[in-house]
Chains A and B, each alone.
Chain A
């Protein structure tokens, strides 16, 4: 068996190895890590609170416009300033919190990997010994960064999406209320019809995205892998650059082959993004219109004010956006997975070397 393939690359095993190393920060700096986590959750909840306040502001502003009440419009305009200021400050506070957590986490993981890599001069013995040894410098710098950046952004976005969806379900339920209509001569009442509307619409968008972007995550992963292999081939070519080297022509051909693989995956990624853009841009255009259309019967019958209509439509778009968490983060999820895999492969290669060192030391 080729030594380079001596590590069996199992998906679960790789993720387990990554988390084992990546959790160093959360296990060793418990106090600071917990403070950051509480801070980020707190900011996310305050942002949600402001989002609800802005949603209410929307209603009061348009109601005032409908009544042609100049004093109320002016009052709402004044109220908007502290709301906007709060929102801006919270956005800035969130960036600081996220980037601080990411920096600390990256530092802890990078130091951990570098320590393992440098110990007993393993970086000298690593080359060509086991799969995962290619281009370790890039794995330590770029892949560790991506692998620690994305989980914080993604988990915060997921948390925000869940609490936002739950909160605005309430808004949709109360503002939208029930709708009554006749079906085959029998009166039908659907309570909280906007909630059902947003669930059905979001389900359709997610289903369409799954159909259109079925291969997107795997193509992104393969594209990232091809880029990494191309870098590794270029690195090997540089290290063995002398034309008199017997492998020079082979290395040149390998470099060209890896470039071709990069370009082909890039072409496929382009087509995948073209397909998913059809859905995402369509959704961007349709979501608010669908919300208005769903509210229109109640508005036209006088059961809903203009302010309530805009509030409900805005809440519909917010909930629908929250539902799209997976869809919106397809690319980042795939990027994170590839980087986490590459960091894990390097760690497993280092583990293998470490095991060999222990075996060597134990041998008489």
Chain B
């Protein structure tokens, strides 16, 4: 196994996925890629940005960076020194699959439940989508 990709959205479940990914990377010597899919902004946040001349791209980028930063610190604490950070945009399931193909990942790790519980009720969860369409092995952490 050469490259492990952990997708995180900053939720507790994703944190457990980061822990599992870091432990596996340490044990196997594989590269660890921490990936977040940005772009979930509420209507209220958008209206606030529209009224205050805030920059949406910068807001999304900084939210994504914050999530990746926390995940990286977590991986470092678990003894993984070399971590690659990646950000994708759009539909989380599609973006993770696309990024896994581009990065040639051997394993994708995700939490069982992300932050968008309501959306997953209607659309099916990210982990379900990955299990069906990912080009490599998928590990879902409870």
Contacts and interface: CB of A to CB of B under 8 A. Distances in A.
Interface of A: 215, 218-219, 221-222, 226, 229, 253, 256-261, 263-265, 267-268, 271
Nearest to A218: B50
Contacts of B56: 222, 226, 261, 264-265
Nearest to B48: A215
A263 B91 CA distance: 11
Nearest to B52: A218
A271 B89 CA distance: 22
A261 B60 contact: yes
Contacts of A222: 49-50, 56
Given A257-B39, A264-B39, A268-B47, 14 more contacts: A215-B51, A219-B46, A219-B47, A222-B49, A222-B50, A229-B57, A256-B88, A256-B89, A256-B95, A257-B89, A260-B39, A261-B56, A261-B60, A268-B43
- Tell me the interface secondary structure of chain A in the complex: helix
A268 B44 CA distance: 9
Determine the interface band of chain B, counting residues with CB < 8 A from chain A: 10 to 19
B61 interface: yes
12 contacts: A219-B46, A222-B50, A253-B87, A256-B89, A257-B38, A257-B60, A257-B89, A260-B90, A263-B90, A264-B39, A264-B41, A268-B46
Interface of B: 38-39, 41, 43, 46-47, 49-51, 56-57, 60-61, 87-90, 95
A221 B56 CA distance: 13
Nearest to A258: B57
A268 B56 CA distance: 12
A258 B90 CA distance: 10
A218 B50 CA distance: 5
A121 B92 CA distance: 45
B89 A259 contact: yes
Closest 9 pairs (CB-CB, A-B): A218-B50, A260-B89, A260-B39, A256-B89, A268-B46, A215-B47, A261-B56, A219-B50, A222-B50
B61 A257 contact: yes
A219 to B, nearest CB: 5
B29 to A, nearest CB: 24
Contacts of A226: 56
A343 to B, nearest CB: 19
Nearest to B86: A253
Nearest to B95: A256
Of B47, B49, B56, B88, which is in contact with the most chain A CB atoms at under 10 Å from its CB? B56
A282 B41 CA distance: 31
A257 B51 CA distance: 21
Contacts of B90: 256, 259-260, 263
Contacts of A253: 87-89
Nearest to B56: A261
A271 B61 CA distance: 24
A215 B50 contact: yes
Nearest to B49: A222
Contacts of B88: 253, 256
A170 to B, nearest CB: 41
A34 B6 CA distance: 67
B46 A218 contact: no
Contacts of B87: 253, 257
Given A253-B87, A259-B89, A218 B51 contact: yes
Contacts of A260: 38-39, 60, 89-90
B109 to A, nearest CB: 21
Of A215, A229, A267, which is in contact with the most chain B CB atoms at under 10 Å from its CB? A215
Contact of A271 (B38, B43, B51, B95): B43
A318 B115 CA distance: 51
Contact of A264 (B46, B51, B61): B46
Nearest to B87: A253
